Structure 1
Amino acid sequence: MNRYAMDVQSAAASPAADLEKLYSRLTWKFVPFLMLCFLAAYLDRINVGFAKLGMMNDLGLSDAVYGFGAGIFFLGYFIFEVPSNMMLAHFGARRWISRIMISWGVVSCGMIFVKDPVSFYVLRFFLGLAEAGFLPGVILYLTYWFPAARRGRTMGIFYTALALAGVVGGPLSGAIMHYMSDAGALHAWQWLFVIESLPSILLGVIALFYLDDSIDHARWLSADEKKTLKTELAKDDKLKVDIPLVKLLLHPRIWHFTLIFFALNLANYGLSFWMPSIIRSLGVADTFQIGLITTLPNLCAIAMMLYLTARADLTQQRRLYIGIALILGAAGLGLSVLLNGNASASIFGLCLATAGILSVYPLFWSLPTAVLGGMAAVAGIALINSLANLAGFAGPWIVGVMKEWTGSTNYAILMLAVVLIAAAGLVALVPVPGQKAKDSSQS
């Protein structure tokens, strides 16, 4: 190759290399911090599963009461989800994400005052109100910075916090329950809520000073870098639909996405809120050992999540990989029941189920964010998330009721496997991005 040809090739490659470096800076700037925030949020949401191991006996609460209280969180979440995302768009991500985190940390700490079923229900409901809008707010926030072609990998990295919450939270929660038993004037489960709420409050304060509301507010970017990022984002607008808000609730695409996400949440929360109890039923009595075992499914989830999101971005076949993850999740749930006579084999099933289920989350959000634009994205993301998160109320409660009826969680887990298979069928019916004319005619 002559010198001229090499210079031309170098000049052509340079802008692409510069763009990669720019997005690498964005990733390192926002994603690790948002992962910490998500980890803290999810830990505060599901640590009640470990608290149950002591709280139910101390307060004399039944499995059905626990399932209902664990799930009522999502009713509060549902009520305030869409208004919260609208307020984030109005007040800016920096202030609103900070507000969400501080308020949920305070309410989570207040769980130490649970005395009976009513106080349990009330505090879980208000925890849902406090946290409402965080996840859809972050998803919306990332669309301000990353185009659709890069969002799968970015969301894949961000969503590893969902699994890291189990990796970190399992041993931490188990250790608190084991070593803080009746330390001072509090029970171990009360110490659990106090200790695990503090990171949320601290990160909320940091968010107020660390986050930027938009590209224009980022002083650490040059004028050329801001222009480049806006140009990349503008390419997505041609494929997006700005559905009028009055028609959003009735739009078939919104309900299609909602049904898929509802099924996913039903399986995820039905499993995650009951996993410590399922592991205990396999013959593991010590709470610290239960916490250590819960790290295994989540470590598997991190590996599968990163692999599948990278493959989906490389091939642009996101529907295929969502379907694969859902089928693997269903297979894992089935194996965990069919092999429950063998603790090791059942735990393998739980690992496969958790890995498949959690891998769907970053892949799923690449679908609606690729086709919704304008205020349809602001309200649509929140609407899908809020409606689908009602499954978080139904999942734990259904498992609790079925356990009381049958004396086992097996039938409930098999039901969740069937739900995941149905969700895979719904994913196969999702139209590919770019069918703007069809969407417009439907709206």
Structure 2
Amino acid sequence: MQRGLPLMPADVVLQHLFDVAVATALPGDRMAALLPPPPPPPGRTIVIGAGKAAAAMAGIVEAAWPVDRAGGLTGLVVTRCGHGVPMRHIEVVEGAPPGAEDAGVTAAERILRLAEAAREGDQVICLLSGGGAALLSLPAAGLSLADKAGVTRALARSGATIGEIACVRKHLSGINGGRLAAAAAPASVCTFVISDVVGDDPSVIASGPTVADPTTHADATAVLRRYAISVPAAVAAHLASANEETPKPGDPRLARNCLTLITTASESLTAAAAAANALGCQALVLADGIEGEAREVGRVLAAMAAYFAHRSEPMQPPFVLLSGGETTATVRGNGRGGPNGEFLLSMLVALAGHPQIWAIACSTDGIDGTETNAGAILRPSSYASARTLGFDLAGRLADNDSYSVFSALGDLVVTGPTRTDVNDFRAILVTGGSA
């Protein structure tokens, strides 16, 4: 047990704060209370959606639906592998693992057909969360799945932000950027969203399939040029022609749409701060939308934590610095690990075993990059332990190999599917004593 933390050890505190953040991000009763009533007969309710939380959200719709109207409830949602839940009326399709997106094309085509079949008097409920754009992988006419997926992967590896990636995706897609809602007209479309993007912009979440798109083909081309992404000839020709733009604000096909944000990163951080206070640990939320290179953010926050620990300002230890957002890890090496691991490895190098500083960094969806862990925990002893195991920590950071380090230390955080996603969660705990 750490001095200044009377209720539980420092690593348990950090895990608890992460658990609270994830629990706050689950849709649960909040979404159930906001669902629209069934339309008058013979109107149907058609549920469609995509994302890591799509099946869990569809389950909430089913559970809340009046038994006497369940016959008018139908639909299809696509979620990530391992994220499905049993359903009675709404079909759940689990998408293929990353790199095998064909299942997402088939599911997206079926979802688009369901929207097109909606009639006047029907209502469409669309459920969106993180990972939705990758699962709705239907390419625009004239483009192949390989074209679209290849450009998206190149952008992700280049360090492009999720907003920039969404801009390009929408203009290479046959369903995103408001096209799904336009297909459902004249039926009403009610969209429920769990935000996984900085700023909670609905046109970016899952690449906005039911939201008007303010960006253009020219904007998408500019993003590709900014990151020097070489694209297939078909993609270049498609963007240059701009024959079919996405639905823009004011499009009459979107006039009967509504959208509700169910939960955001800010709410999860606020809940984690309250949980820290309940344990006798002051909390400061730095920001809910930190972006940039994970290793650079790690270096900056390490310096901030060390400064605060030395001066006992702005708070007396024990205290915790909380932040959210979505950092990126530009791939330069051949190692394993996602942005959260890279953030922590950068902190580990910068702190070199500071005796008062602990940290956790995890993705609230339970997946750090392409690995099976949500993130990891950094301890004051981690630096010496890693050196004892023979790790060249600076070299591992240069090789994007955070996973190997924290796996060897036994400090990976593995949650399995959380069925939600409000970006990354980071907590840096400054204790009142040594490890």
Length-normalised TM-score, structure 1: 0.27
Length-normalised TM-score, structure 2: 0.27
Q: Considering fraction of residues, name the structure with more strand.
A: 2
Highest relative contact order (Cα 8 Å, sep 6+), 1 or 2? 1
